[in-house]
Amino acid sequence: METPDEIVKMTRDWLEKAVIGLNLCPFAKAIQNKVRYVVSQAESPEDLLADLVDELRLLAEVDPGEVETTLLIHPGVLTDFLDYNDFLGVAEMAVENMGLDGEIQVASFHPRYQFEGTGPDDIENYTNRSPYPTLHLLREASVDLAVEAFPDAAEIYEKNIETMRRLGIEGWERLGIGKPRKKDS
């Protein structure tokens, strides 16, 4: 297993080369110096939930000028995508239970991310593939401002799919941000 510093480096490389470099999220470049990278040591969903609650609390309390968003990276738990996907409901419930609904939202990234209706190896899935399972905590006010600044924000998803189709799996691998990991047994 990689060290937390190595995990953050790989995640930062992915953010810079894929998310920003391919312009998958046109809002990311402006805030890349205000991203908090947290590597969870959790080995169970319950431990991850505790880390998530801590990070939600911190993000709700800290000045957005210091920390705009948090990437909660959890390499030791929810490595199976279906388990991860099931946990997203738990994450949303935590946001709601903490009274942060409408303030913070959770976006999802995973090494084997798969959109409904796609095959496991379809290139479209790579728009949400990260080196490690990651919960992205975003301030809704920031999302709203970003969407206002980009009148065609609803078209980002379609543009990203076109970008990924042009790039292809070989192009993705040339970015040097990791290949899809084999499914856990």
pLDDT tens string 56-84: 999 999 999 999 999 999 999 999 999 99
Least confident of 27-36, 81-90, 133-142, 175-184: 175-184
In this predicted structure, the answer to whether residue 134 has a pLDDT above a threshold of 90 is yes
Instruction: Express as a percent the part of the chain with pLDDT over 90.
Output: 79
The owner of tokens 């076109």 is 162
The whole-model pTM stands at 0.91
Q: What is the mean pLDDT of residues 89-111?
A: 97
Here the tokens at position 139 are 């301030």
pLDDT confidence bin for 183, thresholds 50/70/90 = very low
Kindly state the helix (H) or strand (E) to which residue 162 belongs, with its residue range. Answer: helix 156-174
In this predicted structure, the answer to whether residue 154 has a pLDDT above a threshold of 80 is no
Per-residue pLDDT, 65: 92
Here the tokens at position 29 are 């470049």
In this predicted structure, the answer to whether residue 44 has a pLDDT above a threshold of 50 is yes
Q: For the chain, what is the mean pLDDT?
A: 91
CA distance 20 to 83: 28
Burial of 77 (0-12, 13-18, 19+ CB in 10 A): buried
Q: What is the mean pLDDT of residues 136-152?
A: 82
Residue type, 87: F
Q: What is the mean pLDDT of residues 4-21?
A: 95
Residue type, 164: M
Q: What is the mean pLDDT of residues 151-177?
A: 88
In this predicted structure, the answer to whether residue 130 has a pLDDT above a threshold of 60 is yes
In this predicted structure, the answer to whether residue 150 has a pLDDT above a threshold of 90 is no
Alpha carbon of residue 122 to chain centroid: 19
Per-residue pLDDT, 151: 67
